[in-house]
Amino acid sequence: MSLTISQIRANTLRARHLYQRTRRQGFAVGAFNIDNQETLIAVVRAAQKLNSPVLVEVSEGEVKALGLENIRDLVDNYKEEYGVEMYLNLDHSPTVDDCKRAIDAGYEFIHIDISQANHDATTEEIIEKTREVVEYAKFTGALVESEPHYFGGSSNIHEEAFDYETIKKTFSTPESAKSFIDATGIDTYAAAIGNLHGKYPVPKVLDLELLQQVRNAIDIQISLHGGSGTPLHYFEEAAKIGVSKININSDMRYAFRKTLEKVLADNPKEYAVVKLMPKVYQAVQVVVEEKIQAFGSAGKAVV
Q: Cite the active site residues.
A: 91
Mapping DSSP to helix (H, G, I), strand (E, B) and coil, where does residue 125 land? Answer: helix
d(CA 89, CA 299): 21
Give the number of C-alpha atoms closer than 13 A to the C-alpha of residue 201, restricted to the C-beta side: 6
Backbone angles phi, psi at 229, to 5 degrees: 70, 20
Neighbours of 97 (CB within 10 A): 10
Neighbours of 32 (CB within 10 A): 30
Question: Residues with Cβ < 8 Å from 293, sequence gap 6 or more?
Answer: 50
Sign of CA dihedral 241, 243, 244, 245: negative
Helix, strand, coil % over all residues of the chain, rounded to 5: 55, 15, 30
Q: Do residues 197 and 180 make contact, with C-beta atoms less than 8 angstroms apart?
A: no
Neighbours of 274 (CB within 10 A): 7
- String of b and e for 124-136 (b: at least 16 CB within 10 Å)? eebbebbbebbeb
